[in-house]
Amino acid sequence: MKFPPLRRHLAATALTLLSGLASAQLVDPDPQWIEGDVPPPPAFDLHRGIAIEMPAFLSLKFAVDPQTLSIGPDGVVRYVMMASSDSGVINAMYEGIRCSTSEVRTYARYNSGSGWTSSSGASAGWRGLRDRMPSHHAAEFARQGACDGRAAPNSPQHILRAMRNPLRQD
């Protein structure tokens, strides 16, 4: 099928715009950005947790302790995400989300038997929120209130309001 010249031009323009948008999302909006000092993992309490909606096929339940939410001057939303199973095992991750680049970083992990352990190696670096594992819970948290589009919310209270009063536009 042959398109008239105007349609070919419009199609070429649309493809150029789409490829530009796709590559623009891969570029850091602030290449001079430097992460600020990361505070030590805050104390958390499973009983204060606000549940994160997760796909039904997951057996783990995830929740964020609202007392651990903070937004640093560097724009990173930091929090403790708690994971629990029906068997009563509790693990937690002290994480940060950089909304502007859709990335997550795990600073430390908590195991009920040994306490906090700093993350190291590849798991300690920034990775994409859309990576399948191990950050699926972080992507859901970002979508449910931790991020306001590609920006960090104004305050932890803003995050809590979004989590408690979801307005889904999926």
Q: Which domain holds residue 77?
A: 46-164
Mean pLDDT of 83-92: 83
pLDDT tens-digit readout, 106-153: 999 998 778 899 987 656 789 998 876 666 899 999 999 999 999 999
* pTM: predicted TM-score of the whole model, two decimal places: 0.78
pLDDT surpasses 80 at 4: no
Stretch 12-37: mean pLDDT: 59
- Domain-located, residue 123: yes
Across 47-73, average pLDDT: 92
- Count up the domains in the chain and report the number: 1
User: Does 17 map to a domain?
Assistant: no
Mean predicted confidence (pLDDT) in 13-20: 43
Q: What is the CATH number of the domain that holds 114?
A: 2.40.128
Please indicate, yes or no, if residue 87 is contained in any of the structural domains: yes
Q: Is residue 74 part of a domain?
A: yes
Give the integer Cα–Cα distance in Å for 133 and 123. Answer: 11
Confidence of residue 12 (pLDDT cuts 50, 70, 90): very low
Handedness of CA 119, 122, 125, 130 (dihedral sign): negative
Name the band, by pLDDT with cuts 50, 70 and 90, for residue 71.
very high
Q: How far is CA 142 from CA 121, 146, 152, in A?
A: 24, 4, 9
| Domain assignment present for 65 | yes
- Tell me whether residue 83 is in a domain: yes
In a domain, 72, yes or no: yes
E-strand stretches of the chain: 50-52, 61-64, 70-71, 76-84, 90-98, 103-111, 115-118, 127-128
90: its two tokens: 């509790």
pLDDT at 165 over 80: yes
Q: Is the N-terminal amide bond of 134 cis, ω within 30° of 0?
A: yes
